[in-house]
Amino acid sequence: MNEQLNDPFWGTLPILISVAIALCSVPSSAVAQTRGARHTFDLIAWNGGQFIYGVDYYPEAWNETQWEKDAANMQAAGINFVRLGEFAWAKMEPSEGQYHFGWLDRALQILSAYGIKAVLGTPTASPPAWLMAKYPDIAAMNEDGVRYRYGSRRNYCLHNPHFLAAVKAIVTAEAEHFKNNPAVLGWQIDNEVGGPYCYDSYCLTAFQNWCRAKYQTLDALNQAWGTIFWGHTYSAWSQIPLPWNTLYSVHNPGLELDYHRFFSDATRDFVNFQAQILRQVAPQKAITTNEMGLFDDIDYSRLNTLLDFVAWDNYPMIFNPDYQDYFRSALGHDLMRGSKDQQNFMVMEQEGGVPGWTAFWGKQAPAALFRVWAYQAIAHGADGVCYFRWRTSRFGTEQYWQGILDQDGYLNARYQVIARMGKEVKRLAPLLQGSHTNSQVALLVSPDTRWAFHIQPTSKNFDYYRQFYLYYDAARRLGLNVDVIFPQMDFAGYRVIVAPSLFVVSQPLIQKLTQFVGSGGTLILTYRSGVKDDHNEVTLETLPGPLARLAGVLIHDFDPQVAQKQEIVEHDGSRYPADVWYDILTPTTARTLATYGERYYAGKPAITENSFEKGNVFYVGAQPSSTEFYDRFMKHVFDKAGVATRPALPNGIELATREKAGEKIFFLMNYTNRDQSVNLGETTHNALTGASESTVVRVPAYGVQVLTAR
């Protein structure tokens, strides 16, 4: 963010002050009064008391005579919301300064007549051809110094002054035009911000300015990055390079980590640049942008303090060929909710058919699953689900990315399923409104750590998120909700925090973790924790460095090799395979829970448990690879921490809960093709029929149960 202080386009202090003023002056009751705090935006109130049930709609791509029929079919399916216009810059401004919004007025009028409200995209993800022809350097430059050619989308340089001027003009014009239109509820800024990395001189200068704002002096920067290594000491700010790949060998890890932070900040500034205009011109409308779950170029937790609510794009069919890996999208929902302090969110693009671009990327899913996936979003805190897209495109790159309807517009099986759900969410809205997820267990995600592992994965098979899945899935199989939290957030209220491979640790984070454990919390740390400081420099302390006292262990030897078989052996002789990395632990105050089974360190501690003040710290020195290990280990952890678990859920069944004022809402999702039963251990009411249910609830094949209990 600070790099803009010295950028001629951005001007100086007055703009920053007006941003601050704009951010503090959002009136409407539904719109957040304070940002960053829990539950400050009520999406259902914002949509007039209705659950947001929507589709992404591209009227510009269809004949106007079709619009009314589309709106009628949407209304018949219970659709009350659309997202429009996020790629329509060329249609909104066909030539410089000539604005054409009449088509969008007409579309909004028709949709509105059918009870459908809209979020409008600012169209900046796809700059028009005339603009890029006039200013070819708007296109981002790749690491080899080559500018991208016109075409595709998301191809702009975030710091290009011509681009920013054009963005300012179109966003201002759009906001002015629609500010009093009651059919427009708010804005989606750009589309899936976060790329591409650009290596041109605008970005180089911006990075150098960002470094200067952060370090103030070159001495401080040289010290922080350890530039004495290979004699990279900088004697002028203008010598600082971008981490382009046209160099021999690799870059300094300190420089690279700061570059990731810079890029994330620059993206946030770009969103803020638009948010500032929108808030000034149309302060009564809400602001969001569509994000991408586990996408890791951006620290969403910092970006999202700018937004009224989080929205994200959820495609459970991608990378999930048999559709049984249902915890992947579950974790995406939890991470997105956590990125704005657990506030309810919406899905701006929810899977509506088979994905694909030049080819289809999966097999067709049974239509019923599209309803189950949408309920999964609700179960994790979504107050809105908007399907991508209403109808598959006839042209362009996404002819194979299925919408609800195919190109022929036939009201197919997916439409019927979605229409059924439309009736249900209408009934459920009063129950859902004001209800939130609640959890005693959290996973700590560290953007700095994530980036540092991108720069130095440290071991061939290392995957930061893999451990998240392993611990997350085990907690979820035991019927627990899990929050995802970020380092700057509040840790109070959790009983168990799992912090996989906490590689980069800052002093404030160490203090927070110490306070959390000291006051009775349980912390799980895993291998490669406490290795690096804020600047991506290795600690001088014996590992796990500043976390050693909490963990009650020291690491004098480790084995990063990947090909060798290794096993974890528990006290009762149970053996579990493990891979990726092996920390050989020397307990100081900790007790040994498991040892290694192979190699020269067989019998040496692999997993320990340490009492620290009122709390407990587990250290897992390796990455066990079997689910049996995690089921058993996490059960042990939860029992000790006083977190009540349920008997393991049947395979293919997910349970998640929301709560409000003494009422608990259970969501049971069945992702399998057979009916299954779950013993909830208490009697409930079916939220859709009102019927009482016995403790054992039947969940139909590819079905859902929504139940309440007081």
| Minimum CB distance to ligand GAL smaller for 290 or for 684 | 290
What are 297's two structure tokens? 């170029």
Does position 181 bind ligand GAL by CB under 6 A?
no
| Minimum CB distance to ligand GAL smaller for 313 or for 334 | 313
3-state secondary structure (DSSP) of residue 684: strand
| Minimum CB distance to ligand GAL smaller for 418 or for 665 | 418
- Cis status of the peptide bond prior to 427, with omega within 30 of 0: no
Among 401, 415, 666, 667, which residue sits at the site for ligand GAL (rule: CB under 6 A)? 401
| Minimum CB distance to ligand GAL smaller for 291 or for 559 | 291
Q: How far is the CB of 297 from ligand GAL (least distance, A)?
A: 14
Among 176, 325, 398, 534, which residue sits at the site for ligand GAL (rule: CB under 6 A)? 398
Q: How far is the CB of 462 from ligand GAL (least distance, A)?
A: 27
Separation CA 67–CA 62 (nearest Å): 8
In the shown chain, the binding pattern of residues 250 to 289 toward ligand GAL, with x for contact by CB under 6 A and - for none, equals ----------------------------------------
Separation CA 143–CA 369 (nearest Å): 42
| Minimum CB distance to ligand GAL smaller for 156 or for 667 | 156
List the catalytic residue out of 3, 349, 351, 424: 349
Among 299, 313, 341, 424, which residue sits at the site for ligand GAL (rule: CB under 6 A)? 313
Q: Are 346 and 30 in contact (CB under 8 A)?
A: no
Q: How far is the CB of 125 from ligand GAL (least distance, A)?
A: 8
Opening angle at CA 93, ends 310 and 180, nearest 5: 55
First to last CA, the chain: 47
Concatenating the DSSP letter of every residue in 313-352 gives EE-TTTT-TTS--THHHHHHHHHHHHTTTT--EEEEEEE-
List the catalytic residue out of 192, 291, 351, 567: 192
Q: Residue 349 catalytic? A: yes
Q: Residue 192 catalytic? A: yes
Residues 520-532 as b/e (b if ≥16 CB within 10 A, e otherwise) read ebbbbbbbbbbbb
Q: How far is the CB of 601 from ligand GAL (least distance, A)?
A: 46
- Among positions 331-350, residues that touch ligand GAL (CB under 6 A) are 349
Total of residues contacting ligand GAL (CB under 6 A): 8
The total number of residues shown for the chain amounts to 710
Q: How far is the CB of 398 from ligand GAL (least distance, A)?
A: 5
Alpha helices, H only, 31-160: 43-46, 64-76, 89-92, 102-113, 129-134
Please name which of 176, 183, 348 lies closest in space to residue 278, comparing C-alpha atoms: 176
| Minimum CB distance to ligand GAL smaller for 349 or for 583 | 349
Q: How far is the CB of 388 from ligand GAL (least distance, A)?
A: 6
Instruction: Tell me the sheet residues that pair with 347.
Output: 312, 385
Q: How far is CA 237 from CA 8, 9, 220, 251, 534, in A?
A: 17, 20, 12, 17, 21
In the shown chain, the binding pattern of residues 627 to 656 toward ligand GAL, with x for contact by CB under 6 A and - for none, equals ------------------------------
Per the listing, tokens 């990947």 go with 562
Q: What are phi and psi of 295, to 5 degrees?
A: -50, 135
In the shown chain, the binding pattern of residues 190 to 229 toward ligand GAL, with x for contact by CB under 6 A and - for none, equals -xx-------------------------------------
Residues with catalytic roles = 192, 349
Residues that bind ligand GAL (CB under 6 A): 191-192, 290, 313, 349, 388, 398, 401
